[in-house]
Structure 1
Amino acid sequence: MADTIVRAITKDNNFRTIAIDGTEMLQQAASFHQATPMGINLLGRALLSTLLVSNAILKGDERLAVTIEGNGPAGKIVTESSATGLVRGYVTNPQVQTADIVSAVGTEGFLRVTKEMDGESQPFTGSVALASGRIDDDFTYYMLTSEQIPSLVMVDVAVDENKQVHAAGGFIVSALPDAKQEALDRFYQAVENMPEINQTLQKGQGTFGILERIFGNDNLKQLSTEEVSLYPDLTKREYARMLATLNNDQLQEMVEDDQGAEIVDRFTGNKIQFNTEELQNIMDQK
């Protein structure tokens, strides 16, 4: 069953909400990296949170690029996402083995978000200090301070010691401008009492089931459902275009000193080889 993202509003017009099930996507992403269960957990939380926020604030062909750096042993966590349900990311040190998320990420750092708008606009970058190092909390703080949209981002990943992902999902709930205080109070009480997100998914209650556990079925109007997935792999031709952005002296150095070039894709772990003839062709075409 494909991973999905569901958008809905409450019938009382107090909240807009998005939920995601990214279990299969995370299992696929985990296979690209020699990650520990903690490394997979971190990657999953970042991918899910980025997808949720990008679908809340982007439209069309816009994209979101995120860097999380808390000076913890995990190092930087980098993600990219589109408004159409595509995402990718990596953890600089996927073999991190701390006991908890906050210790792995660290708390002395920042979350930086760059929105790539249409081709005629300059990218917009916003940066906030980490709120807790739990990643979803940090995105919640970003939504409030940089986007000025009161929201709650909550994600959950269940991965075992054998690196099997049993569930990965979450939600973002944003208060609409006329949200009533009593509705906000009920919402936070419901979130406090709801079961863990991974339990809802593992019981087969689906993506929409995450939202039902908060608002109930009678107060939700589903707007859309779309599939989510990882970005497709780049082709060798696309990597060649990247190499063509280097000057000829740099390319010539690769020919003479290294007898070729190897590019390692940080998102997938793929290794792309260019021999001396291919590098020479790139220089000739320039």
Structure 2
Amino acid sequence: MNRTYLFDGAILAEHAVDISVLDTSAAVYLYSDLDGDAARVGPILIPETTETLAFANRLINAEDSRRFATSLLFHRGTQESLVAHLSQLRYLATSHEAARRYFLRFADTRALYALSHVATPAQLHGLLGPVSRWTWVAPDKTFLELTVPLGWAGESSAPPLHFSPEQLRAFLRQCRYHELLQATLTANPSLSNLGSLAERHTWTQRAHQWLHQHGINHGGIHVAVNEAVWRTRGGALAAETFPEVVRRAASEGQPQVIREWATAAASKRSA
């Protein structure tokens, strides 16, 4: 069984991680046929070595999105056959009346996790192809994996993936809390000091669900609510006054109302 690491070049570039510290002579840049920086920010395959393992472990142990930049593929056959298969996963197609296709960032394990919860068994079987185990880590460092069930006798959906409108909506919902988390850090980078990566993901998931339940659609309010949840370590969502504070901020278009409430609430918690 061969073992090959898959890296998301876009996340590495975002954090200025230099992959050239590895022996990249055997590396395959899956977007090398595209123009511009596509090769550098696309998926990158490198066979497992002691150095590659150490590099991947450093990513996994980072307390930021670098944790989602790597996965390990156990696969049959040659690296060339793996490259040929993964190249077919580049796009996600839709079955809308006006069909479209999107780049599928399958090397970003956040997208991979969302896929694993939306795709049908036949689609997952087609996604894996020659890969018998596809492993990565969750925000809390729990190991996750996709595998081909023993004795699989079902159908396989050949790549590229084709999602129904319902699947596409579900996939996007799975991904949206990550967008909220990133927007929160972009608005205030110092918030990365609050909690661990796993805690920030848990708080953001809960905040995202709360916002959906309360029908809040204002993007700036979303970020302020998530910031309040982080500052209170999740306590904001249980506070009796919080829904009214958010409703007032949304009606006035004033996210600062939420931030002021959160600052006061956080001070009380630490007092």
Smaller-chain TM-score range? under 0.3
TM-score between both structures, scaled by the size of structure 2: 0.26
TM-score between both structures, scaled by the size of structure 1: 0.25
Q: Give 1 or 2: higher helix fraction.
A: 2
